[in-house]
Amino acid sequence: MFEKAFRVKSNTVIKGSDRRKLKVDISTSFPSLSAEELSDLVPNKEELNVVKIYAHKGDAVTLYVLHKNPVFFELEKRIYPTVYTLWRYPHVLPAFTTWPPVIQKLAGGADLMLPGVVVPSGGLPEVKKGDCCAVKVVGNKAPVAVGTATMTTAEMRSLAMKGRGVSILHSYLDSLWAFGDKSGPPCIPDVDTEGVEGGFLEEEDGQEATEADVIQLEQMDALLLQCFLHALKSKVKKSELPLLTSTFLRIHMFSCCPNGKQLDIKKSSYKKLSKFLQSMQQEHRLVKVKELSKGVESIVEVDWKNREWVKTSSSSSIYLGLCTCVSFCVVVLMKGTVLQPAEVRTIITDYVKRNELVDDTNKNYVIINPILCDCLLEKSEYQDVEALKWDDLFSRTLDKMQHCHQLVFPGLPPVVRKGPLEPIDITVASRGSNKKVTIIKNLEVYGLDPVAVSVALQHRVQASSALNPVPGSKDRVSVQIQGNQVQQVGKLLLDMYQIPRKYIQGLDNKVQKPGKKK
């Protein structure tokens, strides 16, 4: 509901009678709150504001704001606590537990799906359909989202933990959270789910899966997509369509699996080839699959113009490559494409030979025609330079081009950005006499969600963290976590996210002491 900015209609101080009514409504809705806790959330003498807003979809919502933080919000005459309230009193709502990587999806407006729910040692919380409930992550009782249950707990179990579990209304990092002081969730140890062995994720076969299994699922999904794209791009011809899906898997996809890896659909989140192909058809629109005979599916169409074909990574889950981007001065030759240096040499060579510019008297030189003159020569050279050596021609061309970097993630179009690739920056700073904090920047450059990284670090080191805007950048935030956590940050980036070490700066950093005042 609050994934996008909302519009404020009014902001007024609550009246005495409305304050008393609010207390009664909150006490009725959340009976687990003690009288002292209720007075703390709705004090008798401190200023409490009533803010009426319109959400981005037009819903009328009332916020109750205390000390500049929204503590409750009212939607369709029903009151819900915000994450700021739940961080102080996490016992207010029954909470479902999930893995840290799921937070990234919740922050983007997604609902909590049951396959992503971790069942702790004490079992699932007992809820009814429509009950208000919270979402927390493994190892931390501090909730990160609020919503309503889509079914009873018994129905969740009977459906083997499949489908949508919680309809999310508000989450950490959404616009309602941003209306407050933007603090991060505290670290409240959760004994029931402390350590990945404490809970499990229900898979289709009913077996238990730890967080490591979730990572393996994601890696197999990436390998599955990689082999799928590679097979369609390099193996399948239009004349072969329609093609049996079983034949496509056995003959084409398996042959595209990189050396040292084994493709196993049962170890992916799809479990079955039919589900995977259905996703490729409905979500990515890459292929069209039909049941031409009863129980037998075939690929009948392939969208060869889809952007997914631009690049297929064949070496790892994250492919990082430096390339060059053509600037305006050589657009005549290469039409503004993104090219590797070797490709530039090939294009220049073809251009020279096609226009017969090789010097007849000395094959090591290239005659400069008007186009090459405008592109590569300085004005002072126009009258004097009539030919260039091949190496000089290539180096001048590359110098005139704008350097950039390209990142390719499995299943996504390549991302091209100007300038060199910034490394993930890790620094340790001193705050006061004995307090240290670890700061991580540039996570977004590598497609990492700072929220997910922050939550994962909290779980690993049991320390509080916060997100802070990066000065001079509109769309980046840094993750700050208490203590010198360089070693744990390094393990997380290298092992879990598979970021190559050369793209991480500061793994050997020492504490930066604050400068002395002059």
| Among 181, 105, 100, CA closest to 461 | 100
CA distance 259 to 236: 21
What does each C-alpha distance from 244 to 236, 292, 425, 451 come to in angstroms?
Answer: 12, 9, 48, 42
Q: Is 29 helix (H, G, I), strand (E, B) or coil?
A: helix
Residue entry with tokens 């995977």: 276
Identify the pLDDT of residue 94: 94
Amino acid symbol at 128? K
Place of tokens 């933990």: 161
Residue 419 lies in a domain: no
pLDDT score of 509 more than 80? no
Highest mean pLDDT among 97-111, 368-382, 467-481: 467-481
User: Which of helix, strand or coil describes residue 426?
Assistant: strand
Q: What is the pLDDT of residues 143-167, one digit of tens each?
A: 999 999 999 999 998 888 888 899 9
How far is residue 255 CA from its own chain's centroid?
30
Residue 400 included in any domain: yes
- Which of 404, 439, 457 lies at the terminal end of a domain, its last residue? 404
The last residue of a domain, from among 310, 341, 364: 310
* Residues 87, 123 contacting (CB under 8 angstroms): no
> Residue 518 falls within a domain, yes or no?
no
Residues 386 and 430 in one domain: no
Placement of tokens 């101080």 in the chain = 13
Tokens representing residue 358 in the block: 């090789």
The token pair at 421 is 């690739």
Distance CA 445, CA 425 (A): 11
Ramachandran class of 295: left when φ > 0, alpha when ψ lies in -120 to 50, beta otherwise = left
In a domain, 513, yes or no: no
Q: Cis peptide before 242, with omega less than 30 degrees from 0?
A: yes
Instruction: Please state the rounded mean pLDDT for residues 269-289.
Output: 83
Q: Are 42 and 88 in contact (CB under 8 A)?
A: no
The CATH number linked to 462 is 3.30.780.10
Instruction: Say yes or no: 170 and 290 in one domain.
Output: no
Q: Which residue has the higher pLDDT, 288 or 198?
A: 288
Q: Which two tokens stand for residue 400?
A: 């005139």
- Between the two ends of the chain, the Cα-to-Cα distance in Å is 50
Q: Would 315 be classed as within a structural domain?
A: no
Which residue segment(s) compose the domain that 176 sits in?
1-193
What is the mean predicted confidence (pLDDT) over 376-395?
Answer: 83
Please report the sign of the dihedral spanned by the C-alpha atoms of residue 126, residue 127, residue 133, residue 134. positive
Average of pLDDT values for 190-206? 45
Same domain, 134 and 215: no
Q: Are residues 154 and 301 in the same domain?
A: no
Co-location of 112 and 244 in the same domain: no
How many residues make up the chain in this entry?
518
Q: What is the dihedral of CA 382, 386, 390, 392, to 10 degrees?
A: -30
Which two tokens mark 481? 């976590």
Mean pLDDT of 314-339: 39
**Residues 6 or more apart from 51 whose CB is under 8 A from it?**
8, 10, 11, 62, 63, 64, 65, 70, 179
Confidence check: pLDDT of 125 > 80: yes
Tokens of 223: 């390998």
Residues 289 and 351 in one domain: no
How confident is the model over 443-473, as pLDDT tens digits?
888 888 888 888 888 888 888 888 888 888 7
Residue 386 sits in the same domain as residue 273: no
What is the per-residue pLDDT across 41-84, written as a single tens digit (0 to 9) for each?
A: 999 888 899 999 988 888 899 999 998 899 999 998 899 999 99
Task: Based on the fold, state whether residues 124 and 216 are members of the same structural domain.
Answer: no
Report the distance separating Cα 121 and Cα 288, nearest Å: 44
Mind giving me the DSSP string for 73-125? EEETTEEEE-HHHHHH-GGGS-EEEE-HHHHHHHHTTPPEEGGGEEE-TT-PP
8 Å CB contact between 137 and 171: no
pLDDT of residue 327: 37
Q: Is residue 444 part of a domain?
A: yes
**Token pair in block for residue 467:** 């997100």
Cβ proximity of 114 and 97 under 8 Å: no
Q: Which residue has the tokens 């990082």?
A: 320
* Distance of alpha carbon 210 from alpha carbon 118, whole angstroms: 9
Tell me: do 225 and 170 sit in the same domain: no
Residue 293 β-bridge partners:
296
Q: Which segments within 101-209 are labelled E, that is strand?
A: 112-113, 117-119, 132-137, 140-149, 164-171, 200-201
Is residue 64 within a helix (H) or strand (E), and if so which, with residue range? strand 60-66
Quote the number of domains for the chain. Answer: 4
Tokens of 96: 């479902």
pLDDT for the residue 213: 57
Instruction: Note the pTM of the prediction, 2 decimals.
Output: 0.43
CATH number at residue 180: 3.10.400.20
* CB atoms near residue 82 (< 10 Å): 24
The CATH number of the domain holding residue 390 is 1.10.245.10
Place of tokens 């991060």: 184
Clarify whether residues 188 and 113 are in a common domain: yes
Q: What angle do CA 214, 122, 128 make, to 5 degrees?
A: 90
Asked whether residue 438 carries a pLDDT value surpassing 90, the answer given is yes
CA–CA gap between residue 289 and residue 228 (Å, rounded): 14
Are residues 178 and 92 part of one domain? Answer: yes
410 domain-assigned: no
Residue 499 lies in a domain: yes
Residue 333 pLDDT exceeds 50? no
CA distance 170 to 176: 7
Distance, CA of 342 to CA of 394 (rounded, Å): 10
What would the mean pLDDT of 397-413 be, rounded to a whole number? 75
Average pLDDT, the chain: 80
DSSP E strands in 316-401: the ranges are: 319-325, 338-339, 365-367, 387-389
Q: Give yes or no: residues 122 and 8 share one domain.
A: yes
pLDDT of residue 410: 65
Give the pLDDT band (50/70/90) at residue 383. low
